[in-house]
Structure 1
């Protein structure tokens, strides 16, 4: 079943998608900031304003990888685990330069160790140097630690090659919601955004999919949070424009 429900209000956030397909479907708000550091940081501040409690992984406690020995199929963090589900495979392309490999898994990188020019830490502040890199994975999954209804994070350099970037959200009942073409087409190299997801049921995981095996991205300052009850989403008033289709299907 497909639904496209879009509403535009006054506000700084840019995109909202709500699913009300059936009585047992989750109500999900998806916000995507405008491109650029300032817009992304403003969107993070707005996202935090809806939370009653939160935990954030900055990746500063990790040692940045300098070659493929620092990569891993699964990287466990304070907010959950990140897993490479489908590797990129570009032979001598960027993720294989400087001793890195597309197929060796994910990595925590910083500017000194990264083979990629368009990815960087966010927010732009002193002491924030590391980020989690997809290493050009075609598919990567973030499994959330605990029962949380809100997830937010910075993403840098997404979708600058393939033109399609999808996120598959799964709730704690194993119901999935497909958010297709998040950025509505290819983006310029080095773009920065903040993405926020708030649901009326606990979120179990987010899977990130790219349609190109040379189209990676970086993720930073990943926040999981709790929101007020009841009716949080109905009262949020995020001034956003609609995003394509949010499709609900049972596992």
Structure 2
């Protein structure tokens, strides 16, 4: 009774956080701020691609992986789960205008996939846990990103253009 009352008080004191989602295959995986979860045997980076059906959708793109230069970098880990650990924090840098973002946790002979709940107050960070030491974590997205970070070359061209306009204006003013 006291434990359930404490749990209710903790949830009432923090209504912006989603209830952690869990799934079990080779081990149990948990991720906070997830709207849905699914567990699979095997390795996510060998299985999830454009034709893989995940949460009723295909067209998934690998964006980042915590232990390598894999992915297109549209969404990246700011705080990545640490390989070998069994729990910790995670944080990503952006939602990139997307509504379908998945974080996978791989340990043992399987992986858990978690569709992020973008309705919580802070969908960019949370907690994770695995019953076994983590092998790796990955971010996948579905859809077309609508926000782009300007490339350094683009910023340089804009800067040169503004400098040119300033010099032209200064000359005209003299």
Alignment TM class, shorter chain as reference: 0.3 to 0.5
Structure having greater relative contact order (Cα 8 Å, sep ≥ 6): 1
TM-score by length of 2: 0.33
User: Is the helix fraction higher in 1 or 2?
Assistant: 2
